[in-house]
Structure 1
Amino acid sequence: MSGAMSWPFIRLYLLVLLYFSANSILNIIIPLQGGALGATNTTIGLIMGAYLFTTMFFRPWAGHFIQKHGPIKVLRVILIINGFALILYTLTGLGGFLIARMLQGVSTAFFSMALQIGIIDALPEKDRSQGISLYSLFSYIPGIIGPLLALGIWQGGMEYFAVVMVTIAIITGVFGYSTKMNNSETRPTKMAEQGGSMFNSFSQLVKNPHLYKCSVLMLVASIIFGAVTIFTPLYAEQVKNGNAGIFLMLMAGTVVFSRFSLRKKIPSDGKWHSSFIMGTILVLAIGAQCVSFAINGGVLFFYLGAVLIGIAQAILYPTLTTFLSFVLPQANRNILLGLFIAMADLGVSLGGLIMGPVSDLYSYSTTYMICAILGVVMLFVAYDRRKMFIG
C-alpha cells in the first residue's frame, strides 16, 4: 500500500488511537463521578470543557512551534506531559480532574497539530483528504469500546481506573517516542520566519473569508458535538431503556465506518461544495433533534440521533480541514490551521460551559433542541453560490 495507507502513516494512526483511548474512558467516568459526588451540570461542564478550552488556547502556538522546530521534537515532549496528566487523574478528585484536564488540553493541542501538520506536509495533494480522514477515524476508534470499558470500570470498582490510566500513559509514551514522520521532521524554519507575526495571524479569523466561514461552521457544530458527548451519560438515565455506553459506541462506530468508507468521497480539490456541506449540517441538526425527542419518542430516536451525529462528525471536520489546507496562504498555513482547529476545540468546550447551565435551568431535551436550531441556522452560513477555490 502507498500514500495515506502506507506503513509509516499507519504507525501514526495507531499512535492517534493509543493517545485518544484515555479520553473515551474519561468522557464517561468524569460525568458519572461528578454526578455521584453531587456536582451540578454547570460544574461537570466546566471540568469537561476545560480540556478543549485549554487546547483551543494553545492550538495557534502549537502550529507556530511545530513550524519552527518540527513535529517530532514537539511530539516527544508532549507525550511526557500527557502521561503525567493521565496519572494525575488516578491520584485526585474533581479538583484534580480540572487540573489534569487542562494539562491534557495542552498536550492535545500540540499532539494533534504535530500529527496533522506532519500528514499534510508529507502527503501529495490528491491524498491529503484521505490522510486527514484516517487521522480523524483513528481518533474515534477508541470511542467504540471505551464507553463500555468505562461503564465496566465504574460498576466494578474505581481501583481498575488507575491501572488502565497508567497503562495507557506508558504504552502511548513508548510507542510515540519511536514514531517518525518522513521528511516533515526536518522541515526548515524559513517558513516560520516568513509567516509574519503570530499575533497578526489572529486577525485572519475575520479577514480571511475562507477561514472565517469554516471556523464559524466548525464552532457551532462542535458546540453540538460537545453537548452530546458531555451530557449523554446523564441524559441516558432519563430515556427509557437508554444506555450511554451504547449511544457513544454507536456514534463512534458510525464515525469510524463513515470516515473509512467515505474517505475518497471527501472533496480534495480546494473548492467549496455548498450542497455537500449543507447536507452534512442538516444531518447533524436532525440528529440533535432526534436526541432531544428521545425523552418522549423513546430509545429508537436516541440511538438514531447517535448514528446521524456520527455521520456528520465523520464528514464535516476532514472536509473543512482539507479545503483550508488548499486555500490558506502557505507562509502561515500551519498557524491558521491551528486557529481553525482551535475553533473546533472552543465549540466542544462551549458545549459544556454554555449548555450545562441551560440543562440546569431547563432540561437536557431542551438543550438538544437548541442544538438542532443552531444547526439549521448554520445551513445559511454554509450556502454560497460562488465557487470558493484557489485563485
Structure 2
Amino acid sequence: MKGALSWPFLRLYVLTLLYFSANAILNVMIPLKGESLGANNTAIGVIMGAYLFTTMFFRPSAGRWIQKYGPMKVLRTILLINAFALMLYSFTGLEGYFAARVLQGICTAFFSMALQLGIIDALPDKDRSQGISMYSLCSYLPGIFGPLLALGMWQNGGPYGFSLAMVAIAVGTGVVGFTAKMDGNKSEARAVPAGQVPMSVAKSFGELFKNPHLFRCSVLMLTASVVFGAVTTFVPLYAEQVKHGSAGVYLMIQAGVIVLSRFFLRKKIPSDGKWHSRYVMGVMLLLTLAAQSVSYSAAAGVAFFYAGATLMGVAQALLYPTLTTYLSFVLPQASRNVLIGLFIATADLGVSMGAILMGPIADLSSYSFMYTVCAILGVSVIGFAYMRNDM
C-alpha cells in the first residue's frame, strides 16, 4: 500500500489508537467515580475539562517546538511524560486525577501536533486529507471499546483492572512510539523558507482575528467542540434518565460511526484548498440535529438517544479533518505549524467549555435543557460557515 495507508503511517495510526485508549476509558470512569464520591456536575466538569483546557494552552508552543526539533524527537520525549501521568491514575483519588489530567493535557498537545504535522509534511497534497482523516479515525476508534471496558471495570468493582489497563497502555504507547518512523527525512525539523521569520506564539493569538480563514474555522470548531465536550462528559450520567438508555452503547455507536465515516468517506473530504460552504453548513446542521435529538430523548425515548449518537458521529467525523486540511493549504508556510496549533487549541477549549460551562447549566436546570442549549449554539453558527464565493 502507498500514500496514507503505507506501513510507516499505519504504524503511526496504531500508536494513535493506543495513546487515546486511556482517554476513552477515563471519559467514563472519572464521571462515575466522581458521582460515587458525592461530586456535583460542576466539579466533575472541572476535572474532565482540565485535560483539554491545558492542552489548549500548549498547542501553539507545540507547533513551534515541532518545527524546530522535528515531530519524532518531540514525540518520543512526550511519551515518557505521558507514561508517568497514566501511572498516577493507578494509585490516586480525584485530586490526583486532576493533576494527571493536567499532565495528560500537556502530553496530548505535543503528541497530536507531532503526529498531525508529521503526516501533513510527509504526504503529498492529494493524500493530505486522507492522512488527517485516518489519524482522526484512530484517535476515536478507542471510543468503541473503551466505554464498555470502563463500564465493565466499574460494575465489577475491579480497581486493579483499571490500574493494570493504565499501565498496559503506558507501556504499549512507549514501545510503539519509540520504534515508529516516517518516510525519509520528512519527519525531521523543516527549515523556514528564506526571507520568512517563524511566528512567535504570542503573535499567533493576534492572527486568530486577523486571518479570516483561521478565524472562520476556529469559530466553527470552537462551537462544535462545546457540543462534543458536553456529550463526552455528561452522557454517562444522562443515560440513566433515558429509558433503556446505555452510556456505553451511546458512546460505542458514536465512536463506531466516526470510525466508519472517516474511513469510507475519507476521499470525500475536500483536499483542494478551497472552502466548500454547503458542505460545512451541512455538517453543522447534522451537529445541531444530533444535540437536539439527544435532548429530546429523555421524553421521547431511546431511539432519539441513539439517533443523536449516529448524527453526532458523522458530524464529528467530517468537521475536524475538513477544517484542518483546508487550513494546511491556506495558512502561510512559515507560521503554519503555530497557527494550526492555535486552531486545534480552539477545539480543545470548546471541549473544556462543554464540560466546565455546561455542568452548572445542568445543575441549575436539567441535562435535557443543557443539550437544547448545545443545539442552539450549533444552529447559531450555521450561517457563519457560508462564504459567497467558495475559495
TM-score using structure 2 length: 0.98
Query: How far did 1:203 drift?
Result: 0.7
Q: Does 1:279 align with 2:282?
A: yes
Partner of 1:179: 180
Instruction: Give the superposition deviation at 1:190.
Output: 3.6
Kept in 2, the 8 Å contact 1:69–1:189? The answer is: no
In the alignment, which residue of structure 2 is the partner of 1:103? 103
> Which residue does the alignment assign to 1:300?
303
Task: Give the secondary-structure state (helix, strand or coil) at the position aligned to 1:112.
Answer: helix
Secondary structure at the counterpart of residue 266 of structure 2: coil
The letter of the residue matching 1:176 is G
How far apart, in 2, do the equivalents of 1:290 and 1:52 lie? 26
CA contact (8 A) 1:71 1:184 kept: no
Cα distance, 1:386 vs structure 2: 2.1
Partners in 1 of 2:17 and 2:254 — Cα distance? 16
Structure 1 stretch displaced more, 342-351 or 151-160: 151-160
Using the TM superposition, give the Cα deviation of residue 387 of structure 1 relative to its aligned residue in structure 2, in angstroms: 2.4
Correspondence 1:326 to 2:329? yes
Written as runs of structure 1 = structure 2, the 5 A alignment for 1:214-233 is: 214-233=217-236
2:181 is the counterpart of 1:199: no
Cα root mean square deviation, aligned: 1.0
What's the counterpart of residue 17 of structure 1? 17
Deviation by residue 1:107-132 (Cα, 9 ceiling, x = unmatched) = 00000000000000000000000000
Pairs within 5 Å for 1:81-230: 81-156=81-156, 157-182=158-183, 183-190=185-192, 194-230=197-233
Task: Give yes or no for contact 1:191–1:332 (8 Å, CA) kept in 2.
Answer: no
CA contact (8 A) 2:121 2:187 kept: no
Unmatched runs of 5 consecutive residues or more in structure 1: none
CA contact (8 A) 2:147 2:251 kept: yes
Amino acid paired to 1:100? A
Q: Secondary structure at the match of 2:241?
A: coil
User: In structure 2, how many angstroms separate the alpha carbons of the residues matched to 1:198 and 1:298?
Assistant: 48
1:32 and 2:32 equivalent?
A: yes
Q: TM-score, normalised by structure 1?
A: 0.98
Structure 1 stretches of 4+ with a deviation exceeding 3 A read: 188-193
Equivalent pairs counted in the alignment come to 388
1:269 matched residue in structure 2: 272
Asked if the contact 2:76/2:178 (under 8 Å) is kept, the reply is: yes
Distance 2:223 2:14 in 1: 29
Deviation at 1:191, TM superposition (A): 5.4
Q: Decide whether aligned partners of structure 1 residues 191 and 200 sit closer, same or farther in structure 2, where only a CA change above 3 A counts.
A: farther
Matched, 1:253 2:256: yes
Task: Supply the distance in 1 between the matched residues of 2:152 and 2:208 (Cα, whole angstroms).
Answer: 43
| Distance of 2:191 and 2:143 partners within structure 1 | 37
Gaps of 5+ in 2: none
CA–CA distance in 2 between the matches of 1:218 and 1:2?
31
Q: Which residue of 2 aligns with 1:342?
A: 345
CA contact (8 A) 2:199 2:338 kept: no
Q: Which residue of 2 aligns with 1:362?
A: 365
Residue by residue over 1:63-118, the C-alpha shift from the partner in whole angstroms, topping out at 9 and shown as x without a partner, is: 00000000111001100111101110111101110000000000000000000000
Q: CA deviation at 1:155?
A: 1.0
